[in-house]
Amino acid sequence: MSTREVISSGNDLAAMAAVDAGCMFFGGYPITPSSEVMHTISDLLPKVGGAAVQMEDEIGGICAAIGAGMSGVRTLTATSGPGISLKAENLGLAQMAEVPIVVINVMRGGPSTGLPTRVSQGDVAQAKNPSHGDYKSITLCAGTLAECYTETVRAFNLADRFMQPVIVLLDETLGHMHAKAILPTQEEVKKNIVPRKTFDGAPEDYKPYGVAQDEPAVLNPMFKGYRYHYTGLHHDADGFPTEEIETCRKLIDRLFRKVDAHRDEIELNEEYMLDDADILLVGYGSASLAIKEAINVLRDNGIKAGMFRPITLWPSPEERLEELGKKFDKVLVVELNQGQYYEEIQRCMGRKDIEKLTKTNGRPFSPADIIEKVKEVF
């Protein structure tokens, strides 16, 4: 793969990735620590014929972005946890109407106003179900500066493939970290863009939601000769509201199956020094940087530790986690929250004897924190 070296911050890299991936519209509202995403993309989009709009609030931001998605263009909004709370209802609309949109969430301390300028991974549970009702979330989590770019690119491809919102989790540490990143070239990104499917038959035969039970809707861009209905209500194959029992059941079932049946296209993980490890450390996001350094030091001291890092958090890599739970007796989960993913790992591994190391004071983990915990519990 052709690559390039870039010195930048995580937030700026996410904005660059969106434009390189073909995003043509941004709708949002500034909020710490994500504001640089909006600042940067506001400069970049007009240069490629796109548009960025600062709306009156977070709700307006996602509504504008969804409207752009309905017109057929790739669209982005960016925020932090309190903004996701405000966008929640319209994230549900995008799930139900199957409008592709990418949402970047640069996590900070919470709940409520919390610690606006400090790091957290407190939005992991929120990302699984940010809105009410039944649907299947797709959530990616960057763990390096390079992944702030590559996971944003991947999010746009997944959004168009599965016709739904895709959340990319960064955090304050990654968003504001400024260093060198090795990225694919713009040409490489453009070569691998996966466009959304469209229908090109007779207009009278077009049934946007009349698809197989393991596939997303096929929504042609608005104003291109094909008429159908968008709604947040349960709907039929044409998109019109219905309360017919089987139609409603099949609709919600399909929102699950279109994701679950294609997990192999979504799941992405990293495994670090696991082959000969005696101790399994599980972490994600910026916390994984400290975990890696801790593993290196532990091994220098004769303690064989390794790391499993889910890059796709939702749907979780449950089969691999189950395998690892059977392989390793000693498991430690490291999170910048009270254990939001810890509970998912317990479920997947079918175990209650898993150790955890958590922190919620807005400060990142140091490798020493992790080394001390490993020696304490194992």
Tokens of 291: 């975990």
Could you tell me if residue 237 is inside a domain? no
Look at residue 258 and tell me if it is in a domain. no
pLDDT digits (tens, 9 = 90+) for 194-210: 889 999 999 999 999 99
Q: Are the beta carbons of 358 and 338 closer than 8 angstroms?
A: yes
- The answer to whether the CB of 280 falls within 8 A of the CB of 359 is no
> Among 191, 210, 233, which residue terminates a domain?
191
Residue at a domain's end among 191, 217, 242? 191
What is the average pLDDT across 85-104? 98
Q: Number of folded domains in the chain?
A: 2
pLDDT for res 273: 98
178: Cβ contacts below 8 Å, ≥ 6 apart: 7, 8, 9
- 18 and 135 within one domain: yes
- Domain with 311 in it: 271-377
Both 167 and 282 in a single domain?
Answer: no
| Residue located via tokens 């996410």 | 14
Helix and strand numbers, DSSP H then E, in the chain: 14, 15
d(CA 87, CA 312) in angstroms, rounded, equals 22
Looking at the domain assignment, is residue 334 inside a domain? yes
At 317-336, the pLDDT tens digits run 999 999 999 999 999 999 99
Write the CATH number for 173. Answer: 3.40.50.970
pLDDT recorded at residue 223: 85
Segment (H or E) for 358:
strand 355-358
Q: Are 158 and 138 in contact (CB under 8 A)?
A: yes
The DSSP line for 121-182 is -TTHHHHH-SSSSS---EEEE--SHHHHHHHHHHHHHHHHHHTSEEEEEEEHHHHH-EEEEE
pLDDT reading at 118 higher than 80: yes
Residues 10 and 142 in one domain: yes
pLDDT at residue 1, rounded to an integer? 75
* Confidence tier at 142 by pLDDT (50, 70, 90): very high
Residue 227 located in a structural domain: no
Asked if residue 180 and residue 324 are part of one domain, the reply reads no
- Domain boundary at 191, 219, 241, which? 191
Amino acid 24: pLDDT: 98
282 shares a domain with 185: no
Q: What is the pLDDT of residues 285-303, one digit of tens each?
A: 999 999 999 999 999 999 9
Q: Residue 106 above 80 pLDDT? A: yes
Would residue 331 count as lying in a domain? yes
| Inter-CA distances, 201 with 162, 198, 208, 235, Å | 21, 10, 12, 22
Considering the domain boundaries, does residue 285 fall inside one?
yes
- Structure tokens belonging to residue 151: 């996971």
Name the least confident of 217-226, 237-246, 356-365.
217-226
